[in-house]
Chain A
Amino acid sequence: MVQGAEGCGAHQPQTVGRGLMESMQRVTKAAVVFLVCVGILTFAETRKEYRFTVGPKASISIVNQYGPISVKPSPGNQVVITAILRSDKVEIDNDQSGSRIDIKSHLLTGATADNGRVDYQVLIPADASISMQSATGPLRAEKLGGDLTLEGAGALVDVRDVSNVHVHVKTMNGPVTLTNIQEGHVEISSVSGDVTLSSVSGRLVQVSSTSGKIHYDGDFGSGGEYSLTSHSGDIDATIPPDASVDVTARSIRGLVENDFPFTPKTHTTFPLVAGSSFAGTIGKAASSVVLRTFSGKIRLKKR
């Protein structure tokens, strides 16, 4: 086309211009196709599956810099790990030593949060314990019977339907939700992520936060120790009318509200100030509950 335009001489400038434009369009199209191909090659997802046979009470560790980890129970004694790798900028290192399995996303040169992402779907025997780390998360675990450790700076953490286990959670600003945890030993530490506990009970339930809010909705079990502490975050606890707790609530600079009639305590380790602290028993005082915030607000609400 361009040659044709040249042959026609300068008296046909429109044809020359159109030819140039079409040529440029072709080059642009080719460039786009090339870039798409490169992109597909670079960001091509790869699915990998790893299977391990383990003994009872296996221990599994997964470290994933970028991306979610979701764990569910498997029947039998198999650990099945399905990983979707976002690109060839990330590999998976795996190692089994007896009933201990270590999985780690291994970032290669040039990896970023996008192309270094790996999505893990993990099935483990119900009695296995698991430790999972991801900076971005989310981290999810459900219906498991072994100890759980979940850590991630900005990772959303969601644990549900587990019983008789230790659950340890650490986040910086990632929100934490625990639902239906029975007879647990729960320790949660989050600097600014909100923590929501629904139907969580056990021998020890401890939440420590700096500026995140803490919500508890449950009955505080029958014989555990519950400690919810924050610096500036509010603490809301909603419990049924027949709850049985020995409760101490104190906000040094904030307010405390309480829906329940309670039998006041005569001895406390700090002076009680109306509106900002109270201590007493509700029902038979089966569980010990301590709600503490420095400048947040505490509400003990009746469900």
Chain B
Amino acid sequence: MTCAEFQQELPDVLEGASRAELEAHLRSCPNCSELVSDLKAISEQAHQLRESEEPSPRVWKSIEAALRQEGLIRDVSTEPRFLAPASRRRWGPAAWLVPIAAVLMVGMVLFINRPLSGPIAQRSRQPELGGISTPASMSARASNDDDRQVLSEVERHAPLMKSAYEDNLKNVNAYIRDAQSSVDQNPDDGDARQYLMQAYEQKAMLYEMALDRSLP
């Protein structure tokens, strides 16, 4: 089994599929083994972030009541307030998008900096196979979902800023597409990799700003 064939099976491998030929390739190919290990680590981190959702509002309420009794906090508004961390209070479930973006960026950096040679380099030079969910296309879909969620949060909390964020996200996504295509065409071009990393950094910064806990 070649690296290219193995990588077509990646989604199944990550789901836990175990076949003799896959196992054999994993044992014999350090690059694919490392790739699977990295992707599993990223996936686990993402799950942990999701699982680390805040405690129920009742818990925050109890803490708030205790602090109020101690006179450590006071009323500033009549609307219900929770002592959840500020980012969660403002952005609710979307707060986990920031660490997710950071984790994805770290994953992207690992992936970009992976030594490209032999079958992997050949694979990366191949055009994306139609109809097959490659890691890149899965990543693009996830990215679109994340963008939509970020924009809906911006619309909810700072509607005047939505169009600006929308425009800037479009630009950054175009940057990522161009840079990715450049890396695909010239995997050994250090500049192209640098572009891709910077494009992802810009996107991470945009997410961070859009979901910033202290600003509108």
Contact = CB atoms under 8 A, between A and B. Distances in A.
Check if A and B associate. yes
Interface stretch (B7-15, B62-70, B94-102, B172-180): B172-180
A292 B194 contact: yes
A269 B205 CA distance: 28
A294 B172 CA distance: 12
Closest 3 CB pairs of A and B: A109-B77, A231-B175, A135-B215
A140 interface: no
Contact of B171 (A106, A108, A135, A191): A191
Contacts of B179: 231, 294
Q: How large is the interface on A (under 10, 10 to 19, 20 to 34, 35 or more residues)?
A: 35 or more
B198 A153 contact: no
Counting chain A CB atoms within 10 Å of each CB, the highest count among B172, B191, B195 belongs to: B191
Interface residues of B, number: 35
Interface in B58-105: 76-79
A163 interface: no
B178 A208 contact: no
Given A269-B189, A292-B194, A134 B168 contact: no
Contacts of A189: 201-202, 205
Contact of B199 (A65, A151, A231): A231
9 contacts: A133-B214, A152-B215, A154-B164, A191-B202, A192-B168, A208-B202, A210-B168, A229-B194, A231-B195
B144 to A, nearest CB: 18
Dominant SS among interface residues on chain A = loop
A91 B76 CA distance: 10
Contact of A172 (B189, B194, B206): B206
A185 interface: no
A109 B215 contact: no
Given A109-B79, A192-B171, 12 more contacts: A63-B215, A106-B76, A109-B78, A133-B214, A135-B216, A172-B165, A189-B201, A189-B202, A208-B201, A210-B168, A231-B199, A270-B191
Dominant SS among interface residues on chain B = helix
A169 to B, nearest CB: 11
A173 interface: yes
A104 B213 CA distance: 12
Contacts of A238: none
A292 B171 contact: no
Interface of B: 76-79, 158, 160-161, 164-165, 167-168, 171-172, 174-175, 178-179, 182, 186, 189-191, 194-195, 198-199, 201-202, 205-206, 209, 212, 214-216
A220 interface: no
B76 A250 contact: no
A252 B199 CA distance: 15
B76 A229 contact: no
A290 to B, nearest CB: 9
Contacts of B165: 172
Nearest to A193: B168
Interface in A168-190: 170, 172-173, 189
A293 B212 CA distance: 29
A229 B209 CA distance: 21
Contacts of A134: 215
Given A170-B205, A172-B209, A192 B215 contact: no
B194 A210 contact: no
Nearest to A231: B175
A231 B160 CA distance: 26
A211 B168 CA distance: 9
Contacts of B189: 269-270
Interface string A232-273: 100000000000000000101000000000000000011000
A159 B194 CA distance: 28
A191 B214 CA distance: 20
A153 B191 contact: no
Nearest to A91: B76
Contacts of B201: 189, 208
Nearest to A110: B77
Contact of B174 (A231, A252, A270): A231
Counting chain B CB atoms within 10 Å of each CB, the highest count among A106, A154, A211 belongs to: A211
Counting chain B CB atoms within 10 Å of each CB, the highest count among A106, A208, A250 belongs to: A208
A294 B178 contact: yes
A102 to B, nearest CB: 11
B82 to A, nearest CB: 15
Given A109-B77, A208-B202, A211-B171, A295 B178 contact: yes
Contacts of B194: 229, 292
